[in-house]
Amino acid sequence: MSTNGDDTNDMVNHDKENHSRGRLSTLRRLLGYLTRYKLRFTLIVLTMFGYSLMLTIIPAFLGEATNIITKGPGPLSPLQNTIYMLIIAIIFLWVFGYTSQRLLADIAQKALYNLRTELFSQIQKFSLSFFDQRPIGQLMSRVTNDLDVVDQFFSVGVMQLIQSIFTVVLATIIMLYLNVGLTILTYLTILGMMALSGILSRISGPAFEHLQEQMAELNGFAEEHISGQKTVIAYRQQESTASLFDKLSQKVNLTGQKAQFAALVNQPAALVFANLQIIVLLLVGGYLIIEGQVVLGELIAFIGFASELSAPLTQIFSTYSQIISATVGANRVFQIMDGKPEIVDREAAPPMPIIEGEVDFLNVDFSYVPGRKILKNNTFSAQPGETIGLCGPTGAGKSTIINILTRYYDLDSGEIRVDEERIDEIQQDTLRIQIAQVLQEPFLFSDTIMNNLRYAREGASDEDCIRAAKQANAHNFIIMQPQGYDTILQDGGADLSQGQRQMLTIARAMVAEPRMLILDEATSNVDTRTEKLIQEGLLKLQEGKTSFIIAHRLSTIQDADQILVIDKGEIIERGSHEELMKMNGFYHELFMSQFRGKISEGNV
């Protein structure tokens, strides 16, 4: 009957076995990116085999030369022939080594290109919830740090691994042929070195996994605080931010030291065992020479073979940290690549027809986290061309209604229809491509103004973009830029005003030629004069389209055909501005509080 301690040990051993199998599986999958190039990879393996063969032949020629010299006076031709063969072997050694490295460098970069591209493409397929749950810095760590360690493995580790295996196998075969006893003696010292490496790997292996996780946390912190540096400076938090970064860096430093422990100890330990091996062979081999059982040339050759055997093993152990780090990094990359988007189209889902603009919410419930409802039993309708205003306290669920209308998330219950089509039964991309969004915080890419406008619709011409810019009142300030429409926006348009960036996003929405429109308080962060220009552009953009406007300033939705007042995830009032004001309810209270605020500002 097993005790609790025995059960615990069994569980720990089982976890370690699973961990080892997981690493081997990751390593095989990683090597699969190299073996895609079958012909070139085969040539690499053959040239590596040739390199290892030359490496093991050289000690044989040295031993033969030693035997010829120790025989005493005699013809020079045997020694000359041996030296010629030795020179030829060295030349082939260089040729095979250079060729294998050149070929591997080529396919290693191709393999990394494929892995990087597949990773980034997979990230593009994920649903919005995937990004909600992961800081951008951690995702960036997968694309940069984790792929960097894989790059090192592809470029260096693979060659050392394959070449060392060939060298060990060839050297062992020749050593067994020469002297079985001395071969066994050599392997005793090698087994001691392997045992030490195994002990150290149990310490460093988990530490490497922890190190990658901490590096992702550190990168996430750096990315967030560098992006928000203006806020950091405004609130004088530079020192505290630097202190927090220092604490995270110290954690990475300590974990890194532990992770590198095996590499730091393995290499000198391997050198000690290698020298111990030579000493033992000299002692035992010297005794055998005195006894007449072995000639000097055979011992010299054997010591050379033993060195060729221990050198690749030493090399493997000295780069063990690199191999572990690569498998850990690759595993983190594969976790992303093996993920599945939460929002998927049904099999054989048809494309969304051209939208007319009728929208129906029918008893819609929704929660981001199971059991915590954000929307509860929401029902409303919008007719083609209508403007629907959404208002209510912060966190009431206004933005959530927009997120599920565009099917960034699926519902808990109920259904949403656009032109009588259930949005969960049609292809999501064909729905979203017909809906344009102008958000409160405009986002622009570090590219030309023209390309930022063209981003909305593939194939849009320069004329389409310029026409949209004019309608959005953006044309005049664009042509005042250094290169006009070809001006490259730095840091997402940091050199433009908030209003100018917003006008560009409105123009971009116009280029999309949408059938439905979503506005999320698009004028809240601009001055009165700019707001007027933006409103003119928005009115042109809204013409003939069903529009949903999220409003914090209720003046922006006074002219809406229907206003939905949302509180705690429920529509508590609905109607036009006039109808809602007559109710003297929640909307009336919100509106009057804002109106009184304006009067107070005017009296100051």
Q: Which one, of 491, 467, 487, lies nearest residue 478 by Cα? A: 487
Q: What is the dihedral of CA 555, 560, 562, 565, to 10 degrees?
A: -20
Whether 150 and 115 have beta carbons less than 8 Å apart is answered as yes
Residues 11-20: tens digit of each pLDDT: 334 444 445 5
Say if residue 130 is exposed, middle or buried (CB neighbours under 10 Å; 0-12, 13-18, 19+). middle
Name the band, by pLDDT with cuts 50, 70 and 90, for residue 8. very low
SS3 517: strand
Report the greatest alpha carbon distance in the chain. Answer: 123
Say if residue 146 is exposed, middle or buried (CB neighbours under 10 Å; 0-12, 13-18, 19+). buried
**pLDDT recorded at residue 6:** 46
Angle value at C-alpha 324, between 318 and 325, nearest 5 degrees: 105
pTM of the model: 0.69
Q: Which one, of 447, 407, 400, lies nearest residue 426 by Cα? A: 407
Alpha carbons within 13 angstroms on the beta-carbon side of residue 587 total 26
* Residue 591 pLDDT exceeds 50: yes
**pLDDT recorded at residue 314:** 63
Residues 65-110: tens digit of each pLDDT: 766 776 656 666 777 888 888 889 889 989 998 998 888 888 888 9
Per-residue pLDDT, averaged over 144-151, amounts to 82
* Residue 562 pLDDT exceeds 90: yes
Strands of the sheet with 570-575, listed across from one edge: 435-438, 516-520, 546-550, 387-391, 562-567, 570-575
Domain spanning 24-337, CATH class: mainly alpha
**pLDDT recorded at residue 5:** 44
Higher pLDDT, 515 or 194: 515
Domain extents in the chain: 24-337, 359-603
Residues 478-517: tens digit of each pLDDT: 999 999 999 998 877 888 888 888 889 888 988 988 899 9
**pLDDT recorded at residue 269:** 67
DSSP state of 385: T
Are both 24-337 and 359-603 of the same fold? no
Per-residue pLDDT, averaged over 207-224, amounts to 71
**pLDDT recorded at residue 157:** 77
Q: Which one, of 139, 161, 152, lies nearest residue 111 by Cα? A: 152
**pLDDT recorded at residue 539:** 82
* Distance of alpha carbon 90 from alpha carbon 110, whole angstroms: 31
* φ, ψ at 78 (rounded to 5°): -60, -40
* φ, ψ at 571 (rounded to 5°): -80, 110
Whether 273 and 190 have beta carbons less than 8 Å apart is answered as yes
* Distance of alpha carbon 317 from alpha carbon 168, whole angstroms: 14
Q: What would the two tokens of residue 144 be?
A: 């940069």
* φ, ψ at 367 (rounded to 5°): -145, 140
Q: What would the two tokens of residue 21 be?
A: 């199998």
Task: Assign a CATH topology to domain 359-603.
Answer: Rossmann fold (3.40.50)
* φ, ψ at 234 (rounded to 5°): -60, -35
* Residue 339 pLDDT exceeds 80: yes
Residues 426-479: tens digit of each pLDDT: 999 999 999 988 887 788 888 899 999 998 888 889 999 999 999 888 899 999
Quickly tell me which residue has 């914090």 as its tokens. Answer: 552
Angle value at C-alpha 290, between 286 and 294, nearest 5 degrees: 70
Higher pLDDT, 595 or 116: 116
Q: What would the two tokens of residue 242 be?
A: 């630097």
**pLDDT recorded at residue 376:** 92
Quickly tell me which residue has 């529009």 as its tokens. Answer: 547
Higher pLDDT, 602 or 222: 222
**pLDDT recorded at residue 2:** 43
236: amino acid identity, one letter: R
On average, the pLDDT of the chain sits at 80
Residues 349-380: tens digit of each pLDDT: 999 999 999 999 999 999 988 888 999 999 99
* Distance of alpha carbon 578 from alpha carbon 555, whole angstroms: 12
Q: What length does the chain have? A: 604
* Residue 4 pLDDT exceeds 60: no
Higher pLDDT, 401 or 159: 401
Name the band, by pLDDT with cuts 50, 70 and 90, for residue 231. low
> Cβ–Cβ contacts within 10 Å for residue 414, how many?
16
* Residue 193 pLDDT exceeds 60: yes
* Distance of alpha carbon 139 from alpha carbon 333, whole angstroms: 10
* Distance of alpha carbon 438 from alpha carbon 503, whole angstroms: 10
* Distance of alpha carbon 180 from alpha carbon 453, whole angstroms: 76
Which residues face 361 on adjacent strands?
380, 416
* Residue 9 pLDDT exceeds 60: no
Whether 368 and 413 have beta carbons less than 8 Å apart is answered as no
Find all residues with CB under 8 Å of 222, minimum gap 6, and list them: 137, 245
* Residue 604 pLDDT exceeds 50: no
User: Among the listed ranges 70-74, 345-349, 413-417, 569-573, which one has the minimum average pLDDT value?
Assistant: 70-74
* Residue 566 pLDDT exceeds 50: yes
| Percent share of the chain, pLDDT over 90 | 23
Higher pLDDT, 203 or 391: 391
* Residue 183 pLDDT exceeds 60: yes
